[in-house]
Chains A and B, each alone.
Chain A
């Protein structure tokens, strides 16, 4: 047994123990336990963030051979370039198309599935299923559905006597079509989160609203929506950030076209990356700023309207 050195017969006056041996051990242990995460975050999150801002100050050729300091000039050029402004607009539109739609449809499915009926488990699994699809899988499923000559979509149009459409190759319809695939892919996650929220609302709230004479719609407006506040806030923020990060669906479905109508920010960054890393960095920094401001504003604006059950 390891015992500290014996201090038999110390005086009766109060002795301040050498406190903190275990506290010091705690510190080293904490450092050791956090080290793996800190190293990864340091090397692959924080350092590259700073590095990206730094690279944005340089003009650079694609081979990294020559590098020239231009300072904020490059940021100014990026922000004012018509290509980048187009990307911003496309991304904003894409966000507006996808976020509210995903929320509304997913919530609707959750309300529908929040009932006690036999076989509900199966319906819930089906409703949640799109959460399992990757952006590549979702995109290819829709690519084939929307395929102009043999895709099911056009066959359906044909069968009701309409002209076939090439949605993904038409500048007016490409972005909404890509948005539709994204909404479909979002449904599962929105459904799961909102259903979990619904299930955490105590039945008594509905019963008392019912006793007070509120109909189904009024109960939905006045009980369900406020009680789902935290979940809807979370989803709004996450879906918005996701929309601003979209890349795969564009890469697979439209490659930014036609006529740049689907050239979202990240696609533009990746395209620029190969030819002008400095400009790509500046675009990425602007994207970061936008995402940060958006999530902050959403939190501030929505959080005040959200009721957190204690």
Chain B
């Protein structure tokens, strides 16, 4: 088990800064998910922890120990790859036992431990097959078994579910969370899928363009995104972001209509700001921001009502499926509770309230 610490880590590939001055503390036994769009540096960050890449600047620590100069094979970390990287010429048994050989584990012990790891992942029946003879889900589990067999200090996973079909992916998500609980070991998990991040993580680290945007529990990053990028990236559909103006009473107006903001913006009146409101925090009422209903998408358990504001910007309102709903073309008024209204600085993107 290990705590993992990145301190001001930077990694460049030529002119591209893949990881830009990232500092991140991952607690012992924590399930940390690194999430962000493709090219945000999350995989590079994981590979830096793994030792597959060397940082240009900064320090990486495992259990408080600097490992910058420690080779990957000596870091005692296990990794699951997006492609699974199973050795095609070896049986499942040999694939799983493969990491034990360099540790000097003798043959019978290797077989015993490989069988035990296979049992955890329900692979007993396919031990003598080659990877090509397995289904996608089985291959994924072999990759996991190969990672757990060594009882490493931490698990690193790079998009391990993205090659599975949607149904299997949902099931495996739960399996992975259960596995994490059972092993009680640090997991560092990279994904571009914010649903995976939100459903599995103890804490989520959101990256964009090599920079760390926010670290927090799924609830924290959802309720209190640090900036407009996080607000837009986490949540589906994303948070509504509307142009607004600060008022002298500490509130904001959107298209001339007042929106309360809990403790006041603290900004000078007349200052342009961006306000963010989650779709489920918006409601239709007798007063509020005037808008026109565009389209209504039904998802069974909910309905998404897309509206256009007078200034041309768009906002989505999430309704429970049974709630009364306007029709396309209806004029409506949008309102929100004061503590659901977040205020961002439109220049820096940072949240001010």
CB distance from A144 to the nearest CB of B (A): 48
Which of A15, A17, A22 has the most C-beta atoms of chain B within 10 angstroms of its own C-beta?
A17
CB nearest neighbor in B for A13? B8
Q: Which chain A positions have C-beta within 8 A of B8?
A: 12-14
- Whether the pair B70, A15 counts as a contact (CB closer than 8 A) is no
Stretch at the interface among B58-66, B82-90, B303-311, B321-329: B58-66
Instruction: Pick the contact of B70: A3, A12, A13 (CB < 8 A).
Output: A3
> A19 interface residue, CB < 8 Å from B?
yes
Which of B54, B56, B69, B71 has the most C-beta atoms of chain A within 10 angstroms of its own C-beta?
B69
Q: Which chain B positions have C-beta within 8 A of A13?
A: 8
Instruction: Pick the contact of B74: A3, A6, A14 (CB < 8 A).
Output: A3
- Whether the pair A10, B59 counts as a contact (CB closer than 8 A) is yes
User: Which residues from chain B sit less than 8 Å from chain A, CB to CB?
Assistant: 7-8, 10, 21, 54-59, 64-71, 74, 76
> A33 interface residue, CB < 8 Å from B?
no
CB distance from B62 to the nearest CB of A (A): 9
> A18 interface residue, CB < 8 Å from B?
yes
- Whether the pair A4, B57 counts as a contact (CB closer than 8 A) is no
Q: Whole-angstrom distance between the alpha carbons of A125 and B170 in the complex?
A: 54
With A1-B74, A1-B76 known as contacts, the answer to whether A15 contacts B67 (CB < 8 A) is no
CB distance from A269 to the nearest CB of B (A): 48
Interface size on A, residues (CB 8 A): 18
CB distance from B56 to the nearest CB of A (A): 7
- Whether the pair A3, B57 counts as a contact (CB closer than 8 A) is no
Q: Which of A19-36 contact B (CB under 8 A)?
A: 19, 21-22
11 more A-B residue pairs beyond the given contacts A2-B74, A12-B8, with a C-beta to C-beta distance below 8 A: A4-B68, A4-B70, A8-B64, A10-B59, A14-B10, A15-B68, A16-B56, A16-B57, A17-B57, A17-B68, A19-B56
- Whether the pair B54, A7 counts as a contact (CB closer than 8 A) is no
Q: Whole-angstrom distance between the alpha carbons of A143 and B69 in the complex?
A: 69
With A4-B69, A8-B65, A10-B66 known as contacts, the answer to whether A15 contacts B74 (CB < 8 A) is no
- Whether the pair B69, A21 counts as a contact (CB closer than 8 A) is yes
- Interchain residue pairs with CB less than 8 A apart (29): A1-B76, A3-B65, A3-B70, A3-B74, A4-B69, A6-B65, A6-B66, A7-B59, A7-B66, A8-B65, A10-B66, A12-B7, A12-B8, A14-B21, A14-B57, A15-B57, A15-B59, A15-B68, A16-B56, A16-B57, A17-B57, A17-B59, A17-B68, A18-B68, A19-B54, A19-B56, A21-B69, A22-B54, A22-B71
List 9 A-B pairs, minimum CB-CB distance, nearest first: A17-B68, A7-B66, A4-B69, A14-B8, A14-B57, A4-B70, A15-B59, A6-B65, A19-B54
Q: Whole-angstrom distance between the alpha carbons of A21 and B51 in the complex?
A: 13
Q: Whole-angstrom distance between the alpha carbons of A291 and B74 in the complex?
A: 53
CB nearest neighbor in A for B54? A19
Q: Which chain B positions have C-beta within 8 A of A16?
A: 56-57
Which of B66, B70, B74 has the most C-beta atoms of chain A within 10 angstroms of its own C-beta?
B66
CB nearest neighbor in A for B51? A22
Q: Which chain A positions have C-beta within 8 A of B74?
A: 1-3
Q: Which chain B positions have C-beta within 8 A of A2?
A: 70, 74
- Whether the pair A18, B69 counts as a contact (CB closer than 8 A) is yes
CB distance from B51 to the nearest CB of A (A): 9
CB distance from B64 to the nearest CB of A (A): 6
CB distance from B205 to the nearest CB of A (A): 19
Q: Whole-angstrom distance between the alpha carbons of A10 and B58 in the complex?
A: 11
CB nearest neighbor in B for A15? B59
Q: Whole-angstrom distance between the alpha carbons of A6 and B74 in the complex?
A: 14
Instruction: Pick the contact of A3: B7, B21, B55, B67 (CB < 8 A).
Output: B67
With A15-B58, A15-B59 known as contacts, the answer to whether A4 contacts B7 (CB < 8 A) is no
- Whether the pair A4, B67 counts as a contact (CB closer than 8 A) is yes
CB nearest neighbor in A for B66? A7
- Whether the pair A17, B70 counts as a contact (CB closer than 8 A) is no
CB distance from B217 to the nearest CB of A (A): 25
Q: Whole-angstrom distance between the alpha carbons of A2 and B75 in the complex?
A: 9
Q: Whole-angstrom distance between the alpha carbons of A21 and B57 in the complex?
A: 15
Instruction: Pick the contact of B66: A1, A4, A12, A21 (CB < 8 A).
Output: A4
Q: Whole-angstrom distance between the alpha carbons of A6 and B69 in the complex?
A: 10
Q: Whole-angstrom distance between the alpha carbons of A15 and B71 in the complex?
A: 18
CB nearest neighbor in B for A4? B69
CB nearest neighbor in B for A12? B7
Q: Which chain A positions have C-beta within 8 A of B55?
A: 17
Q: Whole-angstrom distance between the alpha carbons of A2 and B74 in the complex?
A: 7
Q: Whole-angstrom distance between the alpha carbons of A181 and B58 in the complex?
A: 70
- Whether the pair B7, A17 counts as a contact (CB closer than 8 A) is no
Q: Which chain A positions have C-beta within 8 A of B76?
A: 1
CB nearest neighbor in A for B65? A6
Q: Which chain B positions have C-beta within 8 A of A7?
A: 59, 65-66
CB distance from B206 to the nearest CB of A (A): 22
Q: Which chain A positions have C-beta within 8 A of B54?
A: 17, 19, 22
Q: Which chain A positions have C-beta within 8 A of B10?
A: 14
Q: Which chain B positions have C-beta within 8 A of A18?
A: 68-69
CB distance from B45 to the nearest CB of A (A): 16
Q: Which chain A positions have C-beta within 8 A of B66?
A: 4, 6-8, 10
Q: Whole-angstrom distance between the alpha carbons of A12 and B25 in the complex?
A: 14
- Whether the pair B70, A14 counts as a contact (CB closer than 8 A) is no
Q: Whole-angstrom distance between the alpha carbons of A10 and B57 in the complex?
A: 14
Q: Whole-angstrom distance between the alpha carbons of A15 and B65 in the complex?
A: 14
Q: Whole-angstrom distance between the alpha carbons of A4 and B68 in the complex?
A: 8
Q: Which chain B positions have C-beta within 8 A of A19?
A: 54, 56
CB distance from A40 to the nearest CB of B (A): 30
Q: Whole-angstrom distance between the alpha carbons of A8 and B21 in the complex?
A: 20
CB nearest neighbor in A for B62? A3
CB nearest neighbor in B for A6? B65
Q: Whole-angstrom distance between the alpha carbons of A19 and B74 in the complex?
A: 17
CB nearest neighbor in A for B72? A22
CB distance from A159 to the nearest CB of B (A): 60
CB distance from A241 to the nearest CB of B (A): 38
